Structure 1
Amino acid sequence: MSTILKWAGNKSRIMPELLAHLPDGDRLVEPFAGSCAVMMNTDYRKYLVADINPDLINLYRQIKEHTRPFIVVSLSLFTQNTTDESYYRLREAFNHNPALPLLDRAAHFLYLNRHGYRGLCRYNRRGEFNIPFGNYSEPYFSLEEIEAFADKAQRATFICADFRESLRMLKTGDVVYCDPPYHDTFSKYHTNGFGKDEQVALASMLADASEKNAVVVSNSDSEFTRHLYRTFNISKVSVSRSVGVAAGEGKRASEIIAVSAFLAASDGAAQ
């Protein structure tokens, strides 16, 4: 299932590899919502989906709770605002109009994502969305994806929280999938960024969580990340990427999928 948003690091293309590592369970917990590709391509009974980006969580809540009005407002933005001038006008309203209703703000977010350069999501230190106009001839309006998401979202709870808060909400037996901003790749995702200290704190919490929960983590493939998850079982995957790839490397990059030792041992015993 493809996703509502264009998203750097979208997991849709590597779902076969991820599904090989994600075990059965009652609830999947995702502390980094991203495009929700994993939620849309798995079949857990319940989901807890979190992200530190309030605009992302607001989008998902509005689609879940007000599907038809969201589609109407969003489609109107797409059909009536096709120039770079209209893009920057809507971006200005998104950044500086505190009276913008939450439903309209969610529609603006989708519009900016689909019309902005490469579908990137980036904010400056003042919290302003600052991606330039993408100059696409016919931006895609993801109607099918919105409708499918609205149906699946009835199983999900969406919260605006950082990974520390969402991981503290774990229940024994939850399956955890973490797709954080990648080390040295997507670290400037939201306002204050996601540097080495955050990577270390996340890895430490996941190591603790793995004593009672199945934990699966994606990240860039580097000496640093391999050291962070040295107690996990690590697989390497090659992925297609248009963002964060150095000149001369084409459009592929290496990532890791780290699986908690507890889960890896359980899989081995089952086989």
Structure 2
Amino acid sequence: MNKKQRAFLKWAGGKFKLVDAITRHLPQGQRLVEPFVGAGSVFLNTHYASYLLCDINQDLIDLYQIIQREPQRYIGAVGELFVPEMNDRDAFYRVRDRFNRSRCAFDRAVSFLYLNRHGFNGLCRYNRRGAFNVPFGSYKKPYFPEREILAFAAKADKAEFVCMGYEQAFAQLQSGDVVYCDPPYAPLSTTASFTTYVGAGFSLDDQAILARCSRHTACEKGIPVVISNHDIALTRELYRGAQMETLQVQRNISQKGSARTKVDELIARYDHTCQWDDNAV
């Protein structure tokens, strides 16, 4: 049994613990396309000939492209920030301010990993002006993921990293592709609409459009699509006609461990057997 490869980024909603369940639903194909690549756990733990990995977070895609091109230079630069004197509140806010002021992709990529590992819960959050605003995490000794970066770089020669939205990613699909979608999740309730995604967030309209794109892609183009989301009435309605599996997953966004409860997640798969409903969303 192969050991699972961890991503080098901490990521809210990361799929490391769910990789085995997700890969059970991913059929064979030539290329895996991920419109919401996030930390890349599915990419790292699957075995396709090539990958198209997309996200609307330009900082994330720039980071991946830099590691793909020059991993040793990147590791040398970011390693200088993972020292005891930089695990400090004032140092964190200096790096965060430098990140928000910089327009250099390499410098921002170096700061991004530092902020990811030293910031609260590995969140990636920007304010309306586009400034990264996650607070200091106060961890005893943040981990420097050098081995994980090298593993990512080794796998990245099979990948193309592109900053684009999910609708643009679906427009790039071709025969032989398999699609895995890990969108920002639909809220469990009207008071649970927090999103860590970039920009204006991922609306309920986006949830419906993604479901429709997935259904059309599978039923009309014969390209299978697998989607993860919360298992709630809304998603079951949106994904009707898909094969579905429910899993219980620990949620780790809460600051208090006692408040971290298990929630139901849904894995929906559309393929050539999906039941198309002309009146569906």
**TM-score band, normalised by shorter chain:** over 0.9
**Distance in 1 (alpha carbons) for counterparts of 2:139 and 2:255:** 22
Question: What is the correspondence of 1:76-87 to structure 2 with a 5 Å cutoff?
Answer: 76-79=80-83, 81-87=86-92
Instruction: Determine if the alignment matches structure 1 residue 226 to structure 2 residue 245.
Output: no
Please, what is the CA RMSD of the aligned residues? Answer: 1.9
Equivalent residue for 1:95, pick from 93, 96, 100: 100
- Asked whether the 8 Å contact 2:208–2:238 carries over to 1, the reply is yes
Q: C-alpha displacement at 1:244, in angstroms? A: 6.7
For residue 6 of structure 1, what is the aligned residue in structure 2?
10
Equivalent residue for 1:197, pick from 201, 205, 219: 205
**Distance in 1 (alpha carbons) for counterparts of 2:271 and 2:239:** 10
CA offsets per residue over residues 195-223 of structure 1, 9 Å max, x none?
Answer: 10111111111111112201100001111
**Distance in 2 (alpha carbons) for counterparts of 1:248 and 1:132:** 21
**Distance in 2 (alpha carbons) for counterparts of 1:25 and 1:220:** 26
Q: C-alpha displacement at 1:97, in angstroms? A: 2.5
TM-score by length of 2: 0.89
Instruction: Determine if the alignment matches structure 1 residue 214 to structure 2 residue 214.
Output: no
Distance change in 2, residues 1:163/1:244 (3 Å) = farther
- Asked whether the 8 Å contact 2:12–2:196 carries over to 1, the reply is no
How many percent of aligned residue pairs carry the same amino acid?
Answer: 43
For residue 114 of structure 2, what is the aligned residue in structure 1?
111
Distance change in 2, residues 1:244/1:22 (3 Å) = farther
**Distance in 2 (alpha carbons) for counterparts of 1:245 and 1:87:** 19
Larger mean Cα displacement after TM superposition, 234-243 or 157-166? 234-243
Distance change in 2, residues 1:261/1:45 (3 Å) = closer
For residue 27 of structure 2, what is the aligned residue in structure 1?
23
Q: C-alpha displacement at 1:103, in angstroms? A: 1.6
Q: C-alpha displacement at 1:47, in angstroms? A: 0.2
Amino acid at match of 2:18: I
Count residues with an aligned counterpart: 263
- Asked whether the 8 Å contact 1:115–1:133 carries over to 2, the reply is yes
- Asked whether the 8 Å contact 2:250–2:260 carries over to 1, the reply is no
TM-score by length of 1: 0.92
- Asked whether the 8 Å contact 1:245–1:251 carries over to 2, the reply is no
- Asked whether the 8 Å contact 1:117–1:134 carries over to 2, the reply is yes
**Distance in 2 (alpha carbons) for counterparts of 1:67 and 1:88:** 26
